[in-house]
Amino acid sequence: MWSTKDASHDEEWRYSVAPIPLAKIEEIRLEEEQEVLDDAEQDAGVSIGVEEEEEDEIEDAAKRNRYFEKEVCMKFVSFYMINS
């Protein structure tokens, strides 16, 4: 893992970084876990909202299609009645 070309430089560098206390590492880990949980909760809420929006859009499209079909039917009926 460590380079062997200049051992003295590597030794200086290796010990120049202060060790991180275990309590600080644990604090960072807990913060990361909480962020992941928060993101998951937000994603779950968004997906539920998206599913409801998609269902509403499908219902709206179905209503528009029924209205369109009725209008087309009325046009053909009126055209048929005028021409017969």
Q: What pLDDT digit, counting tens, does each position of 7-28 carry?
A: 666 777 666 677 778 888 899 9
Q: Any idea where the domains of the chain sit in the sequence?
A: 21-83
**C-alpha to C-alpha distances, 18 to 11, 15, 41, nearest whole angstrom:** 14, 7, 36
8 vs 38, more confident? 38
pTM: 0.35
pLDDT in tens, 40-72: 777 666 555 667 778 888 888 888 888 888 888
pLDDT confidence band for 31 (50 / 70 / 90): very high
47, 39 contact by CB (below 8 A): no
Q: Please report, as a single letter, which amino acid is at residue 25.
A: I
